[in-house]
Amino acid sequence: MSAIRTPAVAGMFYPADSGHLARDVRAMLAAASRSELNPKALIAPHAGYIYSGAIAASAYAALKNSASHIRRVVLLGPTHRVAVRGLALPGAEAFATPLGTVQLDLEAAQAIAHLPQVTVSAPAHAQEHSLEVQLPFLQTVLPGFKLLPLAVGMATPEEVAEVLEVLWGGEETLIVISSDLSHYLPYDVAQRVDNATAQNILGLKNSISHEQACGGTPINGLLLVARRHHLAPHLLDLRNSGDTAGPRDGVVGYAAFAFTEGAGRP
């Protein structure tokens, strides 16, 4: 097993050339609305950048004021190619993208290793795009950080929430959930479905199905913890592939959310 997890979808989901990638990410961030909220957690989509990059940029642009404090990113995304029970660590020491290498937080990984729902699966991470596509944004907006990537398979929201509680930390820790919304519905139907999903997330209702969001399990786990910690959810962007680069007969939904401390529901 390699100590470095190499890029799997560079050249497909985003540019493989480092200069091209850096320019694209900076341009998307510059075009995004500047909702400077000091988020504790984000939800961002994970499709190809031509489809969902602008929506993801809305989430990461919200980090402008807090980026200098963030030293650790806990990144959770659903598995698409390899089935796994629980939440899988990659068993690597670093993740690479065309923009460079991100060191993993091995101390944080050790802190959750005792939990029965935490496993190690290099295959679950090897070709998984849901985590990888978030990294160039994080590398661009954060001056320096360590990463704890978790590929979420068959798990309960409570199991996800338990992991997040152990890793919660303070302002140095950012939680990112990678998820798209509905898949391959007609444009008008997708808008209705995704708007309802967004309202559930804004209401901190941890009942998001996998039909509503492929990352429903980690989203539901985050919503459980968000209620406990009195986080306030903010919808930053809500669109679909019919709005960005695709046809409208079958679209994929995307949303960006930020969760902030200090003003959540009791």
Residue 57 maps to which CATH number? 3.40.830.10
- Residue 255 lies inside a defined structural domain of this protein: no
Could you tell me whether strands 100-103 and 72-78 are parallel, antiparallel, or unpaired per DSSP bridges?
unpaired
- For the chain, 266 residues long, give each residue's pLDDT as a single digit of tens: 469 999 999 999 999 999 999 999 999 999 998 777 999 999 999 999 999 999 999 999 999 999 999 999 999 999 999 999 999 999 999 999 999 999 999 999 999 999 999 999 999 999 999 999 999 999 999 999 999 999 999 999 999 999 999 999 999 999 999 999 999 999 999 999 999 999 999 999 999 999 999 999 999 999 999 999 999 999 999 999 999 998 999 999 999 999 999 754 43
* CA atoms within 13 Å, Cβ hemisphere of 72: 17
DSSP class per residue in the chain:
--SEE--SSBTTTB-SSHHHHHHHHHHHHHHS-------SEEEE--S-IIIIIHHHHHHHHTTTTTGGG--EEEEEEE-SSS--BSEEE---SEEEETTEEEEB-HHHHHHHTTSTTEEE-HHHHHT-HHHHTTHHHHHHH-SS-EEEEEEE-B--HHHHHHHHHHH--STTEEEEEE----EEE-HHHHHHHHHHHHHHHHTT-----TTT-TTHHHHHHHHHHHHHTT-EEEEEEEEEHHHHTS-SSSEEEEEEEEEESSS---
pLDDT at 262: 74
Kindly list the strands in the beta sheet with 94-97, ordered across the sheet, starting from the edge strand earlier in the chain.
4-5, 94-97, 100-103
- Residue 135 lies inside a defined structural domain of this protein: yes
pLDDT at 65: 92
- Tokens of residue 190, six digits: 């997708």
Q: Does the predicted TM-score (pTM) go above 0.85?
A: yes
- Residue 127 lies inside a defined structural domain of this protein: yes
CA distance 24 to 19: 9
Burial class, 173, CB count within 10 angstroms (exposed 0-12 / middle 13-18 / buried 19+): buried
- Which residue's entry shows tokens 């929430």? 161
pLDDT at 253: 98
- Which residue's entry shows tokens 């190690």? 120
- Residue 114 lies inside a defined structural domain of this protein: yes
**Under a CB-based contact definition with an 8 Å cutoff, are residues 146 and 105 in contact?**
yes
The tally of domains found in the chain comes to 1
- Residue 216 lies inside a defined structural domain of this protein: yes
Q: How many residues does the chain have?
A: 266
- Residue 6 lies inside a defined structural domain of this protein: no
Torsion of CA 199, 201, 206, 207, to 10 degrees: 40
- Residue 62 lies inside a defined structural domain of this protein: yes
Which residues, including other chains, have CB under 8 Å from residue 147's CB and lie 6 or more apart? Answer: 72, 73, 75, 95, 102, 103, 104, 105, 135, 138
- Residue 252 lies inside a defined structural domain of this protein: no
pLDDT at 33: 82
Which residues constitute the domain of residue 234?
Answer: 13-171+195-246
Residue of 158, 257, 160, 132 whose CA lies nearest to 218:
160
